[in-house]
Amino acid sequence: MMDNHSVTKKTKGQSLSHKSIPPAFLSSWTTLTLSNDQETHTVRKLDNPHTDHVLFHVDTCLSTMNLAWSLFETDHFPLWSSVLSDHQYQGRGQFNRLWISEPGNLYVTVRLPDLTKGQATAPLMTALAVNQALGRLGIDSEFKWPNDILVHRKKIGGILVEQRTGTVMAGIGVNLASAPSMSAMRDTSPLSPGFLGEWGFSLSPFDLWLTILDELLSLFAQLSDGMEWSVFITALEKAMAFKDEKIVFIPPQGPEFSAVLTGLSPEGGICLQTVDGEKTFLSGSILPVVH
């Protein structure tokens, strides 16, 4: 459901401290108050010393995706704006699944340009950006098609791209300080949840986000400069989890089946080697095989 927010108040703030916002960002900021029947948000618009793009922060919200749409609807969210939240009540994953969002992790939604160069642009570019950003920070990650970020084969992050009439929002969640408990394994989730802290990586959500944003900007710039799409596909394929391994594929229609994952297709679909030959799917999900 879309939120029909209205902005009721704007105030300018002075320096203060906030537990999750780095001091560098707190030199000057404004607050907006958005409200509708359901909720009221006090949204901090931060002056981002690293980039010109608008950066919002809230302590909590239903989900950064919803908030981003609200900010967009009230004309506060130009291209490349992003909103971070320390916590989400109803963090949203794919297909309205709940993304458990305890404080300490990165929850952010960013508005991306809608380059309709093959519709797979946004989700894959975002995944590649996250993978490369983590790489820059010394973390080896894998990309589990279509939306998951893995480290040591544990799911530490996810991406959701939502589109409404030409406007594209990418939501990114990365577990830094904690992950949902093992009881999440009791349902059909095929991978254990993990968080970067368990391997000794200590990162703040803001630092991670700025690195990712940097990568995103760089990738999109290369794309609009005329870089071949296939270059991005190749880069993403290198980071692909389960490549050349036997997996179970769940197609959008029909029963799941065994296959070997061979790579990415030019449109960003997944290439599988099945008994009926090479097949490409544009949607579906992957499960690893259990030994």
Partner 1 sequence: MKTFEDICKEIKGKKILVANRGIAARRISRTIRELLNATPVMTVTDVDKTAPFTAGAKELVLLGQNPRAYLDIDRIIEFAKKQGIAAIHPGWGFASEDSSFPDKCEKAGILFIGPTTDGMELLGNKVKVRDLARSLDIPVVPGSIGAVDVETARQVAIDMGLPVMLKAEGGGGGRGIYEVHDLEQLESAFSKASALAHASFGNPRLFVEKLLTSVRHIEIQTVADRYGNVFAFDERDCTVQRNHQKLVEITPSPWPKMTEELRTRLKDYSKKLVKAVGYYSLATVEFLVDDDLNVYLIEVNTRLQVEHGITESRYGIDLVEEQIAIAFGAELRFNEENTRPIAHAIQVRINCEDPRHGFTPNSGLITRYLSPGGPGIRVDSCISGGHEFPPYYDSAAALLIAYGREWNKTLATMERALNEYVIGGLKTTIPFHLRIIKNRIFRSGDYNTRFVSVTPELMYYKDLDPEALRLSRLTAEISARGFNPFVQLGEYRGLSDKRMPEFAPVLPSLPKTSADIIYPRKDRKALLDYVRDSGRIHFTDTTPRDITQSNSGNRFRLAEDIIVGPYLDRCGFFSIENGGGAHFHVALMANMTYPFNEARIWDQIAPTTLKQILVRSTNLLGYKPQPKNLMQLTGEMICEHHDIVRCFDFLNHVENMAPLAEVVMAAKGNVFEPAISLSWAKGFDVPHYMNVVDEIVAMIARISGLSVKKAQKDFILGLKDMAGVCPPRFISSLVAAIREKYPELVIHYHRHFTDGLFTPAVGAAAKAGAHIVDTAIGSSVRWYGQGEVLSTAAYIEEEMGLKTALNKDMIRTCNFVLKQIMPYYDRYTAPYFQGIDHDVISHGMPGGATSSSQEGAMKQGYIRLLPYMLRFLAGTRQIVRYHDVTPGSQITWNTAFLAVTGAFKRGGEDEVAHLLWVMESVAGVPDNRLSDDLKKERLILYKESNDAFRNLLLGKFGKMPLGFPPDWVYESTFGPDYRKHMAQRTEDSPLIALEKIDIQSETESLTAQIERTPTREELALYLNHPGDALKTIIFRHNFGNPNRLPLDVWFEGLTVGREMNFCDTDGKPHKMSIIDIGPVDPQGVSNVRYHLDDETFNHPVQVAEPVRGGVGGTEMADKSNPCHVASPSTGDLWVMYVKPGDTVVKGEELFNITIMKQEKAVISPMDGIVERVLKTADYKHDKHMTPVREGELLIVLGPIPKRCGKCHSPIKDESFKFCPACGAGL
Determine, following the binding rule CB under 8 A, whether residue 4 of this chain makes contact with partner 1.
yes
Identify the residue among 20, 154, 174, 231 touching partner 1 (CB under 8 A).
154
Cβ neighbours of 252 (radius 10 Å): 9
Element (H, E) at 232: helix 229-238
Instruction: Give the integer Cα–Cα distance in Å for 181 and 92.
Output: 18
Instruction: Give the integer Cα–Cα distance in Å for 264 and 262.
Output: 7
Residue 212-251 contact track with partner 1, rule CB under 8 A, x = bound: ----------------------------------x-xxx-
**Under a CB-based contact definition with an 8 Å cutoff, are residues 83 and 21 in contact?**
no
Which residue type, as a one-letter code, is found at position 185? M
Cβ neighbours of 29 (radius 10 Å): 22
Element (H, E) at 55: strand 55-61
Determine, following the binding rule CB under 8 A, whether residue 16 of this chain makes contact with partner 1.
no
Instruction: Give the integer Cα–Cα distance in Å for 80 and 40.
Output: 24
Identify the residue among 50, 136, 164, 230 touching partner 1 (CB under 8 A).
164
Residue 47 or 267: the one with the smaller Cβ distance to partner 1 is: 267
Task: Give the number of residues in contact with partner 1, rule: CB under 8 A.
Answer: 58
**Binders of partner 1 among 75-134, rule CB under 8 A?**
94-97, 119-120, 122-124
> What is the smallest separation between the CB atom of 103 and partner 1, expressed in angstroms?
26
Instruction: Give the integer Cα–Cα distance in Å for 190 and 211.
Output: 29
Residue 30 or 184: the one with the smaller Cβ distance to partner 1 is: 184
Q: Binding residues for partner 1, per CB under 8 A?
A: 1-2, 4, 94-97, 119-120, 122-124, 140, 142, 146-147, 151-154, 160-165, 168, 185-190, 246, 248-250, 252-253, 255-260, 267-269, 273-275, 277, 282-283, 287, 289-291
